[in-house]
Structure 1
Amino acid sequence: MARRCPDFLRRSGAILLSLLAPAALLAQPSGEAPVPYAPPIVAGPVHDAPHPAFDQEHLRLALTFDPAAGRLTALATLTLTPLRPPPDTLVLAAAGLAVDSVRAGRLDHAATRVPATSHPGDSLLIALDTLDLSLDTPIRLEIFYTATPRQGLFVRPGSAPGTTQIWTEGGPSAARYWFPLLEHPADNITSELIVTVPPTHTVVAAGRTVATEAVPDGSRVRLLQDQPHRADQVLLAIGAFEAVQDTLRLPNGRRLPFVAYLPPGRRAAFEPTFGRIPEMLRFFSERLGMAYPWPRLAVAALRDFHPGLRDGTGLLLIDEERLRDTRALVDDPGDAELAEAVARQWAGHVLSPTYWTDLWLTDGLAAFLAAAYLEATHGRRAYLEALAGLQQAYLDETARYHRPLVWDRWTWPDQMSDAHSRGKGAWVWHMLRVQLGDDAFWSGLASFLGRHAFDTADTEDLRRAMEAAAGRPLAEVFDQWVYSAGLPVLDARYTHNARSEALTLSIEQVQTGDWVPGVFTVDLTAEVHTLLGIERHDLRLDRPARSVTLPAAMPPRFVLLDPERGVLHDLRLEQPAAAWVAQLRYAPRPRHRLEATRALQAFLDDPALFIGLRTALQSETDPAVRAAILRLIGALPSAHATEPVLLAACDDEAPIVREAVLEALGRRTASADAARCARRRAESDRSYRVQAAAVRALATMKAPDAVAIARSALVTPSAGEVIRRAALAVVDHLDLPRRERIDLLVAHTRPDHAVAVRTQAIAALAAHADDRAVLNRLIALLDDPSVRIREAAILSLAASGQERARAALEAHRAREPHRLLQDLL
């Protein structure tokens, strides 16, 4: 636990902000009121940072696999040094490992066999009382075991001989399922992997290859990672890959080997998917004052890799369905997520939290650094849009629960990687940047990272580093934003008095919740826009309600609060529709015009709104704002008047605008012109997402050729399978008999389809779970080897409302192997 405010963080009772999990609802008998469900992260046990008796120094794993049986045979050799008088028993994290024998001894003595017992709580207990151990004298453990993991390590058979893949999922609690270890984020080790594979397969892991030797039926590869890293960051991928190699030049002149391991025949995906990585490495190296620290960078694209994207030291594992082609860049360059994974090479691997309680430090920093990279490459707007996305994810999560960023309750450490750690955490880094200024902030961050490189840090270490950079205390900042929960929720309104030439602005803080301060102290800028120009006023909010009178000779066109987004808050500004339309037309920054479109959703019944939107659209130059205006126009009740405006934008040069047009047209019965627009986009648009939107629109508007277009879409490949997924999402809008629609969806749940296609079909089947064959299929999918397919089946059954589905989920709870899916049950 962090050293500040421990009593504050340990108030009794769980936070019960009414998170009702779908499966938890199904677990209630019919007719009974649901019992409020407390997420494991707030209802889990309290965890204090342990004080290990041993320092884990080196891990050596010799692995041989039997892919057909999904079994590995291994020898794990651990080098440990006692940090205090050695206990009689050593406890290692080891889940489901069948241990044959354990040998132990000092490094300068021969190892001898010692008693070992597997504990039901995923632990291996090793007796040390027969050994002559002493403080600070290293010992060696040799653990011989076999395992058939159902999580942590996965075997994925291919469609042809020799195409089986083996990979590890990573994460704080995953390593224990395929090797024994001392599981603690502050315990850095060096590691060595010795892996025997068939001749057609390649071993991908962190570090450098130091030896490869031929053995019967294959080869044995030895990889060494001799730089300190967390034990749970050991990742491994094995498969028949096509390697694409490059050499990158870093800012310090170093030449860095960069290799991508791709599915055979997918070499063309290298540049569209990973082409920005060199730029990312250069940016982070320069901005953080530390060159990329690992000996190489490797990426491997894997089949059905359910984490989606996982990072280790010098290694990225990515699901092969996320590979892109050049055409996919039309919709989205895909920089943000990849930049965050690259940023974690520093924020998460060079630097680790002292304990899981402080995971926000690295999760939030990586997300913030990704936003900073977008700022450097795409401008300030991209930075603020990334932060806005992180804020929205956090706000969505606060509807279910609040917690301080420094937190000591969970069932699994993975649960700490939530939108609080990542989203609010990124905003804390951003607010520190705003308060300190760029020079002091980046200097303080570089100093903090350099001081704790290849080591650990906690929140107090960060506070001290930033105080040194700022030259002033920051305890109140950390108490308010890190050790407390929530954010200021602001209700704001204003009135103008023409006689006194004054504007009265009233702001009330209305946030509630456990650990949430009743009053935040925040500084905001109010921008009053009039016909004469812009007036700015600095305000401090430090009480539940604040009312301030500002000089204003003219009534405002509109008012902006915190226009530069320097503070995390949930702002609800009350303005008339005319003011929001004025903001949409005249605000100089696109993000403020987008804010106006969101606010105007509450005024769709205003008969004057269409004229204001049409006028704003005619002068709008930003594609994102044009798209938002068109979505609003499409939601207006006067379809006969709005359709010509939508059709005029059907051939707009920006894909985001064409997509918005199709979404709007899809909400209404088709006219011949609307159907022609959608058909044209479905057949020939250069954007995958626009084609997908057109397929959906044709189905929902009941166009005559919707069935033919949907059938064509189901055999049309696209990045991320967006086109096939779109067709499956609207199958129930097609003019087909129900049995034919059901058969179509069930057929697309088969394993020969991409996982993204299968999950979409499974989601659509929830509406047909009253059909016995459909329900049988969904229940059978609970035992699918794919984690993502089981997750989709759980959610679909939970949404079906069927009693038999409820019973199936209850029965599955006891046999579901994956810890994260257990939370859904």
Structure 2
Amino acid sequence: SVRTVYQLDDPQLGLWWTPSSPAWPNRPPQIHSQGQPETNSFWFPCHDFPNDRLTTELIVTAPAGFTVSSNGRLVSREKKVEAVDNDSGGADLKGFERWHWLQDQEHVNYLVTLVVGKFDVVDVAPKHDKSWTFALPVYVPQGRGGDVPGTYGRTAEMIRVFEDVTGRAYPWDRYAQLVVWNFGSGGMENTSATTMYDTAIIPKDALLDHDLQGLISHELVHQWFGDLITCDSWDHIWLNEGWATYMTGLWFERRTPSPGEPPASSGIDAYYNYILANFDSVIDNDKPDAPNVVGMASNEYLHPWETFRRAANPYSKGSSVLHTLRQRMGDRAFFEAVRQYVRERQWTTVRTEDFREVCERASGQDLGAFFQQWTQRPGVPRVDVTASWDANRRVLTLAAKQVQKMDAANPAFVVDVPIWLKMPGAETWRTMAIPMSSEEAGVEVSLEREPEMIVGNATLEMLGEVRVTQAVHRVVRQLTDGPTLVSRVHAARALGRETGDVGVQALRRVAIDKAQSVRLRTECVKALVKRRLFGELQAIASATIDRWEVREEVVRGLASLASEAEVRTNLFQFKDAERKVLDWARKDKSLKVRAASIRGLGAMKSEP
């Protein structure tokens, strides 16, 4: 064994001190570590790279009254009295505590954690579940313990969901969540003890429109994907972050709604609502621009942080790749691959090819081209599909064209463009695909009658954007009768690109329809904003809007259009909208709506 004796003095990174300050009179001093990607070596000697697994042990002596947290289990906690030098040249006896933490299951260096501070500690483990075997302590600023159940109370449910998906019981001694001052990220999945940012605790009166289930579930999933199984190098970080991001979608799919939430906040619509947001991020940011940019799993980087912040982002694109892989493999093979991957690769470090190999065995498919296209090269396709019907021949022609940047370094993507057809009188949808391996492709389909609706990428099988150009009446019908939430959102966005009066009534009607999903209703409001229809927004604002999400979107829309001279010329309409926003600012139950209304009033009061 090797023993290193050293003194740590003001490290540049890795270990962060928050001292007491007159500016924050009720904030006790605190220390927290942050090791990702390679900063724990600033406060203890280590091989600071994710390809080395080891056990760790921290023995920390801190002033009495302070709590110390680290990885693993608390072996002992002992009171001590020590002599401390004073300003007079002598020494005073002070009370201390010696905390002994042991992580005797292997993990990697960047996941080592140390937190020292004063906290309220609340255990959210289910008290009446006799099968529950480990603690779920949540550390929050003093005085905030009463808010812990509302924010973190579903942690145990999340663990049960992720145990079911992975086929692996939670692997560590406990699961702690620690809210610390001045944390530089949203959360950090340190083994058995996640660190959270300083305001990651929600007061009871804000629970109507705030929750942290996305962040909490993301960091929790890392205890399997990131901690139990860790990427071998930073170019494969998507195996950590993509899984953590994707599994949050599975939580939304499988959970039961919280009190006051609509049923659609859980189940398949909640899953697709979440995955669609991931797709939107990828489509907006990940452009095919090789060699100027690189793919998600490229080993070209100067600093490890680059791999986390690429346009081909390991969070949203990683999640989207996993969704399309599930679509390709089917649920049975996909989830068997997940369980097999966890079973075979736990306690190891992994690369993309390790995961691919497991998926190929589970599915019987050759997935080499799939992983190469979606993890190694940058960008995603944008496909325009034009539909035309020949009544004499009874033939539907679908012409597809990739419209993203294409050149020698960025060839056309090889994809099957998913198309759904709704035939007159049929209860089910007919599905097909347009195979593409070049810029343009097309198919002709013989049908007895013209389809009532033609929908592209209804379940997000293809990673990319699909726009179908067709008769507007089909799009209006798709807005309410599309086969999936995704297809209905796509219809709202398509109507947002129209002009004149086309689809306006339908957008307004759906926006105030309580039976429609909240996501679709907010998309309809956004479509009206895109078309700059202030009067329509004012009409919606005058209606009774049951969901805070829709009210918030209406306020944002009114504020964004308020500075336009054309809007202000209709003084009666403008003042009526302003009065409604003022009323929401004063009385709305939703904190988000009140905040948006106050900002909106500022925009509406300003001169054009």
Q: 2:416 is matched by which residue type in structure 1?
A: D
Deviation of the 1:226 alpha carbon? 0.9
CA distance in 2, matches of 1:616, 1:292: 43
User: Greater Rg, structure 1 or structure 2?
Assistant: 1
Say whether residues 1:441 and 2:330 are aligned partners. Answer: no
Percent identical pairs in the alignment equals: 27
CA distance in 2, matches of 1:637, 1:182: 57
CA distance in 2, matches of 1:624, 1:186: 41
Between 628-637 and 473-482, the greater mean CA deviation after superposition: 628-637
Say whether residues 1:300 and 2:191 are aligned partners. Answer: no
CA RMSD, 1 decimal? 2.7
Is the CA contact 2:384–2:400 (under 8 Å) kept in the aligned structure 1?
A: yes
Deviations 1:727-766 (A, max 9, x none): xxxxxx499xxxxxxxxxxxxxxxxxxxxxxxxxxxxxxx
CA distance in 2, matches of 1:285, 1:425: 21
Residue 90 of structure 2 corresponds to which residue in structure 1?
A: none
Is the CA contact 1:406–1:482 (under 8 Å) kept in the aligned structure 2?
A: yes
CA distance in 1, matches of 2:531, 2:317: 35
**Distance of aligned partners of 1:215 and 1:321 in 2 relative to their CA distance in 1, 3 Å threshold:** same
CA distance in 2, matches of 1:276, 1:385: 20
Residue 791 of structure 1 corresponds to which residue in structure 2?
A: none
TM-score, normalising length from structure 1? 0.64
Q: 1:427 is matched by which residue type in structure 2?
A: S
- Identify the match of residue 233 of structure 1 among 92, 105, 111: 111
Is the CA contact 2:61–2:97 (under 8 Å) kept in the aligned structure 1?
A: yes
Q: 2:271 is matched by which residue type in structure 1?
A: Y
- Identify the match of residue 393 of structure 1 among 281, 287, 291: 281
Residue 428 of structure 1 corresponds to which residue in structure 2?
A: 321
Q: 1:681 is matched by which residue type in structure 2?
A: W
Residue 547 of structure 1 corresponds to which residue in structure 2?
A: 442
Deviations 1:52-87 (A, max 9, x none): xxxxxxxxxxxxxxxxxxxxxxxxxxxxxxxxxxxx
Residue 574 of structure 1 corresponds to which residue in structure 2?
A: 469
Is the CA contact 2:522–2:550 (under 8 Å) kept in the aligned structure 1?
A: yes
Q: 1:359 is matched by which residue type in structure 2?
A: I
Between 523-532 and 220-229, the greater mean CA deviation after superposition: 523-532
Is the CA contact 1:557–1:583 (under 8 Å) kept in the aligned structure 2?
A: no
Q: 1:425 is matched by which residue type in structure 2?
A: G
Residue 10 of structure 2 corresponds to which residue in structure 1?
A: 148
- Identify the match of residue 42 of structure 2 among 171, 174, 177: 177
Deviation of the 1:353 alpha carbon? 1.5
Q: 1:688 is matched by which residue type in structure 2?
A: L
- Identify the match of residue 60 of structure 2 among 195, 204, 207: 195
Residue 379 of structure 1 corresponds to which residue in structure 2?
A: 267
Residue 489 of structure 2 corresponds to which residue in structure 1?
A: 594
Q: Which residues in structure 2 correspond to 1:715-754 (within 5 Å)? A: 733=606
Q: 1:508 aligns to what SS in structure 2?
A: strand
Deviations 1:497-524 (A, max 9, x none): 2222222101123444689662433334
- Identify the match of residue 361 of structure 2 among 468, 475, 498: 468
Say whether residues 1:274 and 2:152 are aligned partners. Answer: yes
Q: 2:327 aligns to what SS in structure 1?
A: helix
Deviation of the 1:276 alpha carbon? 1.3
Q: Which residues in structure 2 correspond to 1:752-763 (within 5 Å)? A: none
Deviations 1:559-583 (A, max 9, x none): 1112121221222332354443232
Deviations 1:571-609 (A, max 9, x none): 233235444323224324333222122222222x31344
Q: 1:256 aligns to what SS in structure 2?
A: coil
Say whether residues 1:329 and 2:188 are aligned partners. Answer: no
- Identify the match of residue 690 of structure 1 among 593, 598, 603: 593
Structure 2: where are the runs of 5+ without partners?
A: 83-93, 256-265, 563-567
Q: 2:295 aligns to what SS in structure 1?
A: coil
Say whether residues 1:406 and 2:297 are aligned partners. Answer: yes
TM-score, normalising length from structure 2? 0.86
- Identify the match of residue 583 of structure 2 among 668, 680, 685: 680
Q: 2:269 aligns to what SS in structure 1?
A: helix
CA distance in 2, matches of 1:682, 1:659: 11
Deviation of the 1:432 alpha carbon? 2.4
Is the CA contact 1:484–1:515 (under 8 Å) kept in the aligned structure 2?
A: no
Residue 565 of structure 2 corresponds to which residue in structure 1?
A: none
Q: 2:497 aligns to what SS in structure 1?
A: helix
Residue 504 of structure 1 corresponds to which residue in structure 2?
A: 397
Q: 1:147 aligns to what SS in structure 2?
A: coil
Is the CA contact 1:262–1:301 (under 8 Å) kept in the aligned structure 2?
A: yes
Is the CA contact 1:340–1:369 (under 8 Å) kept in the aligned structure 2?
A: yes
CA distance in 2, matches of 1:368, 1:455: 21
CA distance in 1, matches of 2:247, 2:493: 27
Between 614-623 and 359-368, the greater mean CA deviation after superposition: 614-623
- Identify the match of residue 541 of structure 2 among 637, 647, 668: 647
Say whether residues 1:168 and 2:33 are aligned partners. Answer: yes
Deviation of the 1:300 alpha carbon? 1.0
**Distance of aligned partners of 1:537 and 1:208 in 2 relative to their CA distance in 1, 3 Å threshold:** closer
**Distance of aligned partners of 1:228 and 1:381 in 2 relative to their CA distance in 1, 3 Å threshold:** same
Deviation of the 1:170 alpha carbon? 2.8
CA distance in 1, matches of 2:326, 2:27: 51
Structure 1: where are the runs of 5+ without partners?
A: 1-106, 108-139, 703-732, 736-825
Between 216-225 and 662-671, the greater mean CA deviation after superposition: 662-671
Say whether residues 1:309 and 2:202 are aligned partners. Answer: no
**Distance of aligned partners of 1:513 and 1:209 in 2 relative to their CA distance in 1, 3 Å threshold:** farther
Q: 1:257 aligns to what SS in structure 2?
A: coil
Deviation of the 1:314 alpha carbon? 0.6
Between 609-618 and 546-555, the greater mean CA deviation after superposition: 609-618
Say whether residues 1:487 and 2:380 are aligned partners. Answer: yes
Deviation of the 1:632 alpha carbon? 3.3
Deviation of the 1:228 alpha carbon? 0.2
Residue 103 of structure 1 corresponds to which residue in structure 2?
A: none
Is the CA contact 1:487–1:516 (under 8 Å) kept in the aligned structure 2?
A: no
CA distance in 2, matches of 1:645, 1:191: 62
Q: 2:250 is matched by which residue type in structure 1?
A: A
**Distance of aligned partners of 1:149 and 1:522 in 2 relative to their CA distance in 1, 3 Å threshold:** same
Residue 215 of structure 1 corresponds to which residue in structure 2?
A: 81
Q: 1:144 aligns to what SS in structure 2?
A: coil
**Distance of aligned partners of 1:514 and 1:324 in 2 relative to their CA distance in 1, 3 Å threshold:** farther
**Distance of aligned partners of 1:402 and 1:597 in 2 relative to their CA distance in 1, 3 Å threshold:** farther
Q: 1:697 is matched by which residue type in structure 2?
A: G
- Identify the match of residue 561 of structure 1 among 428, 451, 456: 456
CA distance in 1, matches of 2:357, 2:3: 39
Q: 1:354 is matched by which residue type in structure 2?
A: D
Q: 1:300 is matched by which residue type in structure 2?
A: L
CA distance in 2, matches of 1:652, 1:219: 56
